[in-house]
Structures are given as C-alpha cells and as structure tokens.
Structure 1
Amino acid sequence: MNAIASIDLSRWRAGGAAAAEVERAVDDGLRRAGFLLVYGHGVPEGLAAQVRTAARRFFALPDAVKEQYAVTVGGRGWIGPGKEANGYAEGTETPPDLKETFAVGAHTPVGDARVDDVWFLPNVWPAEVQELRELTTAYTDAVRVLSDELLALFAAALQLPANPFRDLAARPTWTCNINHYPPLNVVGAPEPGQFRIGPHTDFGTVTVLDREPGAGGLQVYTEEGGWADAPYDPAAVTVNIGDLLAYWSGERWPSGRHRVLPPQAEAPEEDLVSLIYFYELDHDAVVTPLPPPIGRVAGLPPVVSAEFLRTRLDAITIG
C-alpha cells in the first residue's frame, strides 16, 4: 500500500458508511505520512492550468521587469532565486533553493498595523500579465473553500464532537506561492545538497498543492520507507498537513516532510510550475493540542498561530 492515502471528498459529503470509511482512511494516511491525494476537491477543472499559463508569462519576463515586484520571503510579489532555503527550517543547511516564486496572500486587514503589515499585506499584481490577478484570485477562493472542508474532515476523522476550526479560521492568514522550477540548462548543475526545494515540513494547517510531475519532482519522507516519489494524478490535488496542525493533533499526525528534487541530468529541459496554497488560522488563534488518547503527547502548551509561524518563516529566509 502506498504510504500516501487516496481519498474522495464526494464520498465524505455523501455521509453514512462512505463518510466513515473516508474518515478512517484520513486518520490512517495522516498517521503514516502527513500526506493525502484528494479527489472530488471541487476546484474548477482547468483553473489551475490557466493560472499556470499566466504565471509562465510572468516568469518569462526579464529579471529587470520582475525586480519591480521583488519582495522578501513572506511578502507579496516576486521572490527571486537565491532568497530562500527551506532546509534551514528543520536545521538542514543547504544551498539556496533552485526556484523563483510569485506570492500572494490574505488581504483582510484587522486595522492594527502591527498585524496587517506582517500578515495582511496588499497583493501586488504585474501590469505585464493582467490576467494573473483574476485567475489567481478565483483559484485561491476555491482552494480556501477546500481547505476549510479539509479541516472539518480532519476534525471528524478524530471523532471530535464539533469542528474547532469554525472559530479558529474566521479570518485566517494564508499564502499562495506559484513556484517556478527552471530547467537544468538555465540554472546549471546543482551544488552538492541543493534542491528545487530543500527537505522541510510546512508551517501551517493544510497545504494544497497542484503540481506538474517531473524527474526533478516531489518526494515524501516516511519513517518506514525513507524518501519516495509522491504519487501523481491530474484529477487529484496533493494535500499535506503542516507543523501547526501536527501540533494541534498532539503529534498524532506528523507534519508531512518533503522535498523537491533538483533538475535532473536526464531531463535538462524540464521546466515545472507548482501552485502551493498554505492555509493557516486566524493570526491570534490559540491552538491547544489534543491530549491523549487522541494526541500522542501529553502536556503540550497552547501556542498562538502567528507567533508559531513567524519563527519558521524567519528560519528559511536568506539575507
């Protein structure tokens, strides 16, 4: 059996025995790997492909043009090559990740500049690719609905009497990174230990990934099997849980550890674009870990979402 479980949300929505079966599969799958392959996700067919096409137009622009939209990690706009090394989040020293990113995020300010200037920055849209705004907004709206449904499913999978995320994600922070992984014949031979994205776990609750398969693609780590290529199906999205949700579960579910391989010598022209939606909670949400017997670890203290996330974002920023 593949370590990554496949589930169909339409079966969960149907209720009854089908829903119970999905809930068991979710719990088993997340305990193994922190990853799921999700069908019936409800994101409009073809929308991700349209976003990807528009993003490629942006990434093809000269660097001098993209620099107009340049930001640091956690900002809204273009995060150029050499700015990020995800391996540092878990203490693994790696060269910079071989990618560039266009990032957007939640813009629902609360009126406190100390909060808004970190978590609810205005999005910046390139004038050169005007369709990117409408397409990306439609995509992130759809994936937020999916993310809320996944959190409800996860609560049900643990047989909780109510969904705690209704109150914890009323005005959540989130980011959507459109990652471009250039080909080998553009970036050159990787340095030792260099990846498109170094080994790491995500930081929030749910990550929804729409990706293109490739030789230099996604790998997932499990204690039983080590590193292995992640399964891919164009009809499904890849979902993993992050550190915040793993902590909430009392470490019952591991945060999904993963990496994206560097461009491979046998595929020097492979050029990939991935859409990665990182969902979190309200910036001031207090997360109280589930105690045993649901959680595995007793006595874990509550944490505030924004404080928990900030330390991890700072760790992966270069410079």
Structure 2
Amino acid sequence: MTPISTIDISLWREAGQSAAAVAQDVDESLQRAGFLLVRGHGVPRDLVADVRAAARNFFALPEEVKAQYAAIVGGRGWIAPGLEADGYSEGTETPPDLKESFAVGPQTRTGDPVVDDVWFKPNVWPTEVVELRDLLTAYTEAMRRLSDELLALFSVALGLRSNFFEELADRPTWTCKINHYPPMSSVGEPEPGQFRIGPHTDFGTVTVLDREPGEGGLQVYTDDGGWEDAPYDPDALTVNIGDLLEYWSGKRWSSGRHRVLPPQAGAPEEDLVSLIYFYELNHDAQVTPLDPPIGTVAGLGPVTTADFIKTRIEAITM
C-alpha cells in the first residue's frame, strides 16, 4: 500500500463522473502526501528518452568544458557539484548534495532588468551537444501544457468553479532541471548525512518529475508512514505540489516532503538522470490563501510569488 494515488488524467479530460472521481483522488492524495502518479499525460516517451540521452552526453563532458556553461543556484546552465544542499531549506545543515544539474527557464522577458536578471535569465546551450536545445525546448513546452492542465484539475479538486490559477500564470516562472546522480565509484562514499538530494519540499505550485528508479532513489515522507520508497510506474510521471500551492490551499494540501538517497554500496555503479520541471506562477502574482472550509488554517496573509520563492532558493545555496 502507498499513500500516493495513481490518476489517469485522460479520464479527467473526458469530464462527467470519471472526472469527478479523479478530482476526489487528487484531493485525498495531496492531503496525505502531496504526491501523485499521473498516467495518460501524453508526453511522448521517445522525447523523454532523447532528452535523457542528450543530457548524459553533456554530463560526460570534461569538467573544464562544462565549466564554460557554469551557473549559480537558480541560474541557467551547468550547476556544478557542491553548490546545493536542499536540506538547508528546512533548517537542516547537511553536506552538499551529490549531484550536478543543467537548468533552463522561461525566456518571456518583461523589459525590467531587475526582474529579468532574476527570473528570465538567458538560457545557455552547449555547442558540444547541439541536439539538447531543441529536445529540451520541446520537453519544457510539453511540461508547461501539462502543468497548466494539472492546475486546472487542482482547482476542481478544491471545489472551485473555475481555474483560479489561470489568470496568474500567463507569464509564469519555471525551471527545468536535469539532475545527474553519479555512481559511488565516481563520487566516493557519502559523508554522514549526505544525500543525492537532502530532505526538503519544493517551492512552487507543481513539480513534474520523470525519474529513473534505483537503490539510491526517491523517498517520500508522510506523518503516518515516515520515509518510504516512492512508487514507480514507467508509464506515469511523478507529480508533487510545492510550498506555494500548500500555502494557497490554506494548508489543506501538504507540500510533498522528499529526498533522494545517496548512492548505495550494493549498487556502486548506479548512475541516474532525472528530469524535473518546477512550475510556479507569474513572478508578480499575489497569492491569497483559501480560508476554511476549503483551507484548514484561517487568517493566512497574501504573498507575492517572487518574494516567496526567492527566499527559499537562497536557503539552499552553499
């Protein structure tokens, strides 16, 4: 048994009783764990495979080549090992996460350099792996469509008559990160308390994850079950909500707490690549939490997306 429900979003598209059942499953699963498995999403599996293959080609480049595309945490490009420690976001001091990443984001610049230099930085693309640009652009377009659809579904799951997210996500901020978790034979034995990604919650509204299963893989925390291996379905995407949507729901739903285990001695050559799409809202969107009876906490004040997200990104930067 798992607290994480599997839904078929194609049934929700059909409307009627099937859609109502999907919305109820969503509400219950997000209250329990903040996570879902989503089937029927329509994201082409060959596109995912091609993105992952191109990413592996990039991560296999010499470090001095990747350094030409280096970025800080929250930036665009290669985020080298040792720069992030996600456990810090919940106040836990941990060694750096055992991963490297490649990140891209939206290019819908506002014309305000103060805003654009934070939320709409130019993407950088490795000339050594030219196919990555077109592949990842197609992938993020598919993720944007799916994330918008998920937010519409979530509005129904909250019992709202219309998609109350829609007008606040016409120029959204998002980040797509490709995380590479090298094998133990490459990074060495983990330090005490070190993870591939330390325990944390995500920051935005929706996170969509395409992952590879492994011994050093994803775990999800619930109050009832503690830490458990996340269920894996090769035909499903793993979806969790972040702190912003938890807050917006009036704490009805839980931002899914999770971690990625360090490489395991029993699988020293395990080498994993995950594709993660972190969706937010417009940078200047004002979020007013839902009061009871939808929410469970009354009197939560409004927040602006940019302020809410920025403080959390700064917390995980080493």
Q: Determine the structure 2 residue equivalent to 1:254.
A: 254
* Residue-by-residue CA offset, 1:193-227 (whole Å, 9 max, x unaligned): 00000000000000000000000000000000000
Q: Determine the structure 2 residue equivalent to 1:192.
A: 192
Q: Determine the structure 2 residue equivalent to 1:237.
A: 237
* SS in structure 2 of the partner of residue 194 of structure 1: coil
Q: What TM-score does the superposition give when structure 1 sets the normalisation length?
A: 0.99
Q: Determine the structure 1 residue equivalent to 2:311.
A: 311
Q: What TM-score does the superposition give when structure 2 sets the normalisation length?
A: 0.99
Q: Determine the structure 1 residue equivalent to 2:135.
A: 135
Q: Output aligned runs, 1:50-199, within 5 Å.
A: 50-199=50-199
Distance 1:232 1:49 in 2: 17
Measure how far apart 1:45 and its partner are: 2.3
* SS in structure 1 of the partner of residue 55 of structure 2: helix
* Residue-by-residue CA offset, 1:13-59 (whole Å, 9 max, x unaligned): 11111000000000000000000000011212221111000000000
Distance 1:165 1:252 in 2: 16
Runs of 4+ in structure 1 displaced over 2 angstroms? Answer: none
* Residue-by-residue CA offset, 1:270-317 (whole Å, 9 max, x unaligned): 000000000000000000000000000000000000000000000000
Measure how far apart 1:159 and its partner are: 1.3
One-letter amino acid matched to 1:80: A
**What is the CA RMSD across the aligned residues, in angstroms?**
0.5
Percent sequence identity over aligned pairs? 73
* Residue-by-residue CA offset, 1:152-172 (whole Å, 9 max, x unaligned): 000000110111111010000
Measure how far apart 1:144 and its partner are: 0.5
One-letter amino acid matched to 2:94: T
Q: Determine the structure 2 residue equivalent to 1:27.
A: 27
One-letter amino acid matched to 2:188: G
Distance 1:77 1:276 in 2: 14
Q: List alignment gaps of at least 5 residues for structure 2.
A: none
* SS in structure 2 of the partner of residue 30 of structure 1: helix
One-letter amino acid matched to 1:282: N
Number of equivalenced pairs: 318
Q: Determine the structure 2 residue equivalent to 1:297.
A: 297
Distance 2:104 2:119 in 1: 11
Q: Determine the structure 2 residue equivalent to 1:10.
A: 10
One-letter amino acid matched to 2:3: A
Q: List alignment gaps of at least 5 residues for structure 1.
A: none
* Residue-by-residue CA offset, 1:135-185 (whole Å, 9 max, x unaligned): 000000001000000000000001101111110100000000000000000
Distance 2:105 2:15 in 1: 33
Distance 2:10 2:103 in 1: 30
One-letter amino acid matched to 2:173: T
